[in-house]
A and B are shown apart, each in its own frame.
Chain A
Amino acid sequence: MNPTIEMPTIEYATLAPLLLVFGAAIIGVLVEAFAPRYLRRSFQVPLTLLSLIGAFALVIVQVVRGDVETGPVAMGALAVDGPALFIWGVILVLSAVCVLLINDEGHFVASAASVPGSSDEEASEKAGHEHTEIYPLVLFAVGGMLMFPAANDLLTMFVGLEVMSLPLYLLCGLARRRRLLSQEASMKYFLLGAFSSAFFLYGAAMLYGYAGTVSFAGINQALAQGSLLDPLLLLGASLLGVGLLFKIGAAPFQAWKPDVYQGAPTPITALMASGTLVAAVGALLRVFWVGLGNLDWDWRPVLWVVAALTMIVGAVIAITQTDIKRMLAYSSIAHAGFLLVGVLATYDTGAGNVVSLQAILFYLLVYGVATVGAFAVVTLVRDAGGEANHLSRWAGLGKRAPILSGVFAFFLLAFAGIPLTSGFFGKYALFTAAIGSGREAGDALGAWMTGLVVVGVIASAIAAFFYVRVIVLMFFSEPVADGPTIAVPSTGTVAVIALSLLVTVGVGLFPEPVLQLANTAASSLFVR
């Protein structure tokens, strides 16, 4: 008797954005294989941009038509719900913007294998070789980012995690300047990433052992009926958490972030700091809110410590940084901590959870945009040997490049959460949601949540110090004698900076439409 294989049902329309990105990535690989070298770039750039914009358009179409799926799709592998669509939209916009940065000249090495400064390198540069593989790699990474937060079971999530991470490991090592730093970053990121993936997988296995299923809904179901004291469950949950917390760079798993952010080519850093963070927070939410939703009395105290530690570590260590990219990396760690505050802010009621989710989604959008803008400015401040990343080189920049410095100062103020910037409303919404969740939970936990917000405010104050220090450095210090030059920005870079500034200013003045959008996305909560 022949066992029949059931044909899987795939909701192609719903998954179109994901499929488009992956499809374009595969076409990109084929272009690399078959197109002559001089044609590749003129294929790859439009292909990449169009596929990202097209995928974004497809997301918009789904949102406008309003036929958001109410259950898992693709045989329960993925969940394309309101929050997932919002996150997809944000990731697609951010990555398209990063592609514009990547497209700018001079960030990537012509031939990664040649020794820096060798004649080989010179020859390959002269010949006009360049790594056009970057574009399909970015597309694969973006595809992974889309899949990661939309996964509806642990295995799909792991696949998404790896598809997202592997191309990034490679991309980190392709910086044209400071090659050794870049290759070191790549190596470290790969080793530690693999290490943390192992944790994730081990945790997933244990949870399967506990629940007998890998789907989030199934695990949560098992939690509702089974024992909450099972060591298998608690071990699985914590190991899974380690894998995810590593990706967002929460303390004590943050050590890779500064090294990798510093070494990677700046456009890739921008992609990691915005897109990866957004995707990882989305995945974290899905695991802890959907999969382990019934275990929240256990994981909330533990995450409380992680969140507080992350905010403090990020803010405190950033103070003594002398490299602008490392400083932004620590700032990103602190912001991951702020986002964790939001993850902690769960309610017993759906309406309460909508408030928290809305705050997180809003924060992801505004933080991602400001981050890309800030890194775009960093790419423009250059020395003879590439970007001038040492902070001492930024002294007095405001006198020579007032507009660029002003824009950068504005992004820093947005990070610090000063009113009239988007960052203010992001923090305001997050902290309000956290306090509200504590109030709902009652005395003991309420005080703890308020305490966490107090920690967050203190960390913000510490963080404001190093943001403002850079502003002071730029505007109130004497310029260094042979200061860095400001590269003439390409149209793409100008567009990136202008767009980021527009969003940061616009949302700072008119937060209502974006908050409303986040609210609409959050209102359906996650499908189970």
Chain B
Amino acid sequence: MDPVEIIQHTAGGVIGMSWLMIAFPLLGATILLVFNRYTNRWGHLLGVAMSLASFVVAVLAFVQLLGLPEAQRRQAVHLWEFIPGMVDMGLLVDPLSIAFALLITGVGSLIHIYSIGYMAHDPDRRRFFAYLNLFVAAMLLLVLADNYLALFIGWEGVGLASYLLIGFWQFKPSAAVAAKKAFVVNRVGDFGLLVGMFLIWTTFGTLAFAELKPITSENPTTLAIGLLLLLGACGKSAQLPLQSWLLDAMEGPTPVSALIHAATMVTAGVYLVVRSGAFFFPEGSGAALAVAIVGAATLLAGAIIGCAKDDIKKGLAGSTMSQIGYMMLGAGLGPVGYAFAIGHLITHGFFKADMFLGAGSVMHAMNDEVNMRKYGGLRKYMPITFATFFIGYLAIIGFPLLSGYFTKDGIIESAIHAEPVLGWLAVLGAGLTGFYMSRMVFMTFFGEKRWDKEAHPHESPAVMTVPLIVLSIGSIFLGGYLVLSNTLLLWLAPAVGRPAELPGFHPFSVPGLSTLALVAVGAAFAWFKYGRAEVPAVQPRGSFLTTFARRDLYGDALNESLIMRPGQWLTRLAVYFDNRGIDGVVNGLAAGIGGSSGRLRRLQTGFARTYALSILFGAAILTGALLLVGNI
């Protein structure tokens, strides 16, 4: 079944006011940035209030949407004519966008609250909240836009916020470099999205979702558009081959990693694919297959990287890559996969934010130490952090009945059904997840203390632990609620289409059981290696494979030798030709313009008589010309 028609919103109510969701955080960011120092005392509270206000609007819009029959659940809210005759600015409130809006504002608000405590000692806390608010506004524009242009504005907005926040501690050179790297790599993806948009415009003459028609069979143009959009999605969602920025992005403050680089922004690629699904990624098309392949490759790559990292945040970043790989795999499977992909996206938003914030809490306690080899035995000192992190851990490895179990299993089952090879790779990835996440938990919370001398771990304040508790509750129950009776699938159906037959949940299928077995093996292996045995305080040399994983699968080296070096050569070559050839022309042109400017300037003698003469000549020429034209 295709998605239902988008109807123009007419009646009043919260849906018509949904622009407030974007306006609140945008206002917050503006106030905080404009009145900078003056808001130091209460700036963070304003930031939290704006995010919460946005959440309230999202909930109200959600409730109103629930009250509508299915055929009316896609409402376009026209705001204003943006570029006359081309694009109107408007919002699309439908089950998909509102699900994202709830996740963004809900998890976003929790992370805002957590940041009050985490950033308490930072002199620039107010600026941090301004950027967070800016991010929330841009992200909401991205998901609520009813056309590709507005989506693109939001897309660039989150890129900007991400850049600002990764480089928030810009006095650290590594942070500044990481921010720049994220920006540059994302440009590659944005280029794809932009060219894709050009193609959409020239082919269909519109950029509005409401005016594009679902397709059933693929033609070369839609395939090209699909692949270009996929390139955009890869950049934003850190999928192969544009994954390299995400690990470095962990230089930003931890709440940023939780909000932007785990729960929301990096999932924008999945959103883009699902939103464009009916138009450019029909079930069984080449473009959809490409999405699934990218997803499967990334989920393995991320998991392998995660196995070797000693930096707790980078380990989590590898895991984020891997989990988004699962979502992409799901998004490449058509309407069945969409529900599980979005479901996994939502539950991942909860448990990954939970674990990132937990990691932040640990770092907060350990003088900002990120090396897990210097942790150990922390469970007794930080019981709440440990408990919440452990729940997140169980959820991500897919421990039965927790959130991740349902959504990840859904993706694996549907993948094995549709693309068996990719499906079994996903099973393998689940086993790796069991290993590297267990390794992280054992190295951090179990075993002997391997702390530095000056470390005095302590539990974090309530403003930090309460969000952790809320997130971990979501990590337990959300998955079952969304998947068991196909709640999410039926909810999303008006927006993304409904599969021919509803998937049932089979707890004892072959893939399900083999996944569980592999996870158990992985976890047990981690226990023997990191839980029971002594963890060396210095990284051992390790095998070739370990080095391979530690070096991010040589992703950076690959980029360097395949793109950067040749790029540099190309640049040099280009500079050479540029200097010799093009510059000659350009400089000649510029010199020509500049020179004529200089020469023309001399006509400006400053003498009134010269000016009067030029007027006289002008008048004579004008009259002559008019007489000439008149008499032709």
- The answer to whether A and B assemble together is yes
Known: A252-B614, A306-B622, A462-B593. A234 touches B627 (CB 8 A): yes
Contact (Cβ within 8 A) A242 B622: yes
Determine the distance from Cα of A235 to Cα of B620 in the docked complex, in whole angstroms.
Answer: 10
Q: Which residue of B lies closest to A299 (CB)?
A: B626
Contact (Cβ within 8 A) B629 A192: no
Q: Which residue of A lies closest to B88 (CB)?
A: A512
Residues of A267-323 at the interface with B, using a CB-CB cut-off of 8 Å, are 298-299, 301-302, 305-306, 313, 316-321
* A-chain residues with CB within 8 Å of residue B601 when the two chains form the complex: 317, 320-321
Determine the distance from Cα of A313 to Cα of B596 in the docked complex, in whole angstroms.
Answer: 10
Determine the distance from Cα of A258 to Cα of B608 in the docked complex, in whole angstroms.
Answer: 12
Q: Which residue of B lies closest to A512 (CB)?
A: B81
B510: interface (CB < 8 Å): no
**Which of B81, B593, B594, B615 makes the CB contact (< 8 A) with A246?**
B615
B630: interface (CB < 8 Å): yes
Q: Is the interface of B mostly helix, strand, loop or mixed?
A: helix
A255: interface (CB < 8 Å): yes
Residues of A179-205 at the interface with B, using a CB-CB cut-off of 8 Å, are 187-188, 191-192, 195-196, 199
Size bracket of the B interface = 20 to 34
Contact (Cβ within 8 A) A192 B623: no
Number of interface residues, chain A, beta carbon within 8 A = 46
**Which of B80, B608, B621, B626 makes the CB contact (< 8 A) with A512?**
B80
Contact (Cβ within 8 A) B594 A320: yes
B505: interface (CB < 8 Å): no
B604: interface (CB < 8 Å): yes
Contact (Cβ within 8 A) B594 A319: yes
**Which of A192, A239, A301 makes the CB contact (< 8 A) with B612?**
A192
Contact (Cβ within 8 A) A238 B604: no
A107 to chain B, nearest CB (A): 23
Residues of B65-88 at the interface with A, using a CB-CB cut-off of 8 Å, are 80-81, 83-84
* B-chain residues with CB within 8 Å of residue A216 when the two chains form the complex: none
Contact (Cβ within 8 A) A255 B594: no
B611: interface (CB < 8 Å): yes
A435 to chain B, nearest CB (A): 13
Known: A188-B608, A192-B608, A462-B593. A302 touches B629 (CB 8 A): yes
* B-chain residues with CB within 8 Å of residue A241 when the two chains form the complex: 622
Determine the distance from Cα of A526 to Cα of B612 in the docked complex, in whole angstroms.
Answer: 33
B592 to chain A, nearest CB (A): 10
B617: interface (CB < 8 Å): yes
Determine the distance from Cα of A429 to Cα of B612 in the docked complex, in whole angstroms.
Answer: 35
**Contact count A vs B, C-beta below 8 Å:** 100
Contact (Cβ within 8 A) B618 A242: yes
Contact with B along A205-241 (1 / 0, CB 8 A): 0000000000000000000000011010111011101
Contact (Cβ within 8 A) B615 A252: yes
A101: interface (CB < 8 Å): no
Determine the distance from Cα of A478 to Cα of B222 in the docked complex, in whole angstroms.
Answer: 50
Determine the distance from Cα of A319 to Cα of B591 in the docked complex, in whole angstroms.
Answer: 11
Contact with B along A6-22 (1 / 0, CB 8 A): 00000000000000000
A430: interface (CB < 8 Å): no
Determine the distance from Cα of A285 to Cα of B615 in the docked complex, in whole angstroms.
Answer: 21
A256: interface (CB < 8 Å): yes
A253: interface (CB < 8 Å): yes
Determine the distance from Cα of A409 to Cα of B14 in the docked complex, in whole angstroms.
Answer: 38
* A-chain residues with CB within 8 Å of residue B83 when the two chains form the complex: 428
B45 to chain A, nearest CB (A): 24
Interface centre among A239, A317, A318 (most CB of B within 10 A): A317
Determine the distance from Cα of A271 to Cα of B295 in the docked complex, in whole angstroms.
Answer: 62
Interface centre among B598, B600, B617, B630 (most CB of A within 10 A): B630
* B-chain residues with CB within 8 Å of residue A258 when the two chains form the complex: 604
Residues of B558-610 at the interface with A, using a CB-CB cut-off of 8 Å, are 593-594, 596-598, 600-601, 603-604, 606, 608, 610
Determine the distance from Cα of A229 to Cα of B625 in the docked complex, in whole angstroms.
Answer: 13
B573 to chain A, nearest CB (A): 27
**Which of A187, A196, A237, A316 makes the CB contact (< 8 A) with B600?**
A316
* B-chain residues with CB within 8 Å of residue A191 when the two chains form the complex: 608, 612
A83: interface (CB < 8 Å): no
Contact (Cβ within 8 A) B598 A320: yes
**Which of A187, A239, A318, A462 makes the CB contact (< 8 A) with B623?**
A239
* A-chain residues with CB within 8 Å of residue B622 when the two chains form the complex: 238, 241-242, 302, 306
**Which of A253, A302, A305, A319 makes the CB contact (< 8 A) with B597?**
A319
Determine the distance from Cα of A428 to Cα of B597 in the docked complex, in whole angstroms.
Answer: 27
Contact (Cβ within 8 A) B608 A252: no
B539: interface (CB < 8 Å): no
Determine the distance from Cα of A28 to Cα of B618 in the docked complex, in whole angstroms.
Answer: 40
Contact (Cβ within 8 A) A235 B627: yes
Determine the distance from Cα of A150 to Cα of B597 in the docked complex, in whole angstroms.
Answer: 37
Contact (Cβ within 8 A) A234 B626: yes
* B-chain residues with CB within 8 Å of residue A228 when the two chains form the complex: 630
Contact (Cβ within 8 A) B619 A199: yes
Known: A238-B623, A255-B604. A316 touches B611 (CB 8 A): no
* A-chain residues with CB within 8 Å of residue B543 when the two chains form the complex: none
Contact (Cβ within 8 A) B618 A305: no
* B-chain residues with CB within 8 Å of residue A255 when the two chains form the complex: 603-604, 610-611, 614-615
Contact (Cβ within 8 A) A302 B615: no
Known: A242-B622, A252-B614. A187 touches B593 (CB 8 A): no
A259: interface (CB < 8 Å): yes
B631: interface (CB < 8 Å): yes
Determine the distance from Cα of A321 to Cα of B604 in the docked complex, in whole angstroms.
Answer: 12
Q: Which residue of A lies closest to B607 (CB)?
A: A188
* B-chain residues with CB within 8 Å of residue A188 when the two chains form the complex: 608, 611
Interface centre among B603, B606, B608, B619 (most CB of A within 10 A): B619
Q: Which residue of B lies closest to A251 (CB)?
A: B618
Contact (Cβ within 8 A) A316 B596: yes
B621 to chain A, nearest CB (A): 8
* B-chain residues with CB within 8 Å of residue A320 when the two chains form the complex: 594, 597-598, 601
Contact (Cβ within 8 A) B615 A242: yes
Determine the distance from Cα of A306 to Cα of B619 in the docked complex, in whole angstroms.
Answer: 11
A510: interface (CB < 8 Å): yes
Q: Which residue of B lies closest to A301 (CB)?
A: B629
B295 to chain A, nearest CB (A): 35
Q: Which residue of B lies closest to A188 (CB)?
A: B608
* B-chain residues with CB within 8 Å of residue A428 when the two chains form the complex: 83
A368: interface (CB < 8 Å): no
Determine the distance from Cα of A396 to Cα of B18 in the docked complex, in whole angstroms.
Answer: 42
A352 to chain B, nearest CB (A): 15
Contact (Cβ within 8 A) B611 A256: yes
Interface centre among A235, A252, A306, A321 (most CB of B within 10 A): A252
Contact (Cβ within 8 A) A192 B615: yes
Determine the distance from Cα of A248 to Cα of B608 in the docked complex, in whole angstroms.
Answer: 18
Q: Which residue of A lies closest to B615 (CB)?
A: A253
* B-chain residues with CB within 8 Å of residue A256 when the two chains form the complex: 611
Determine the distance from Cα of A425 to Cα of B626 in the docked complex, in whole angstroms.
Answer: 33
A144: interface (CB < 8 Å): no
A337: interface (CB < 8 Å): no
B29 to chain A, nearest CB (A): 15
A250 to chain B, nearest CB (A): 9
B417 to chain A, nearest CB (A): 47
Determine the distance from Cα of A510 to Cα of B81 in the docked complex, in whole angstroms.
Answer: 8
Contact (Cβ within 8 A) A316 B625: no
* B-chain residues with CB within 8 Å of residue A192 when the two chains form the complex: 608, 611-612, 615
Contact with B along A482-522 (1 / 0, CB 8 A): 00000000000000000000000000001110010000000
Contact (Cβ within 8 A) A298 B626: yes
Determine the distance from Cα of A228 to Cα of B601 in the docked complex, in whole angstroms.
Answer: 39
**Which of B84, B612, B621 makes the CB contact (< 8 A) with A515?**
B84
Contact (Cβ within 8 A) A242 B604: no
B23 to chain A, nearest CB (A): 12
The 12 sampled A-B contact pairs (Cβ below 8 Å) are A229-B630, A235-B623, A238-B623, A246-B615, A255-B603, A255-B615, A259-B604, A259-B606, A302-B625, A318-B597, A462-B593, A511-B84
* 6 residue pairs, one from A and one from B, having the closest CB atoms: A252-B618, A255-B611, A238-B623, A320-B597, A512-B81, A238-B626
Given contacts A195-B612, A313-B600, A319-B594, 7 further A-B contacts (CB under 8 A): A192-B612, A235-B627, A239-B619, A242-B618, A302-B625, A511-B84, A512-B81
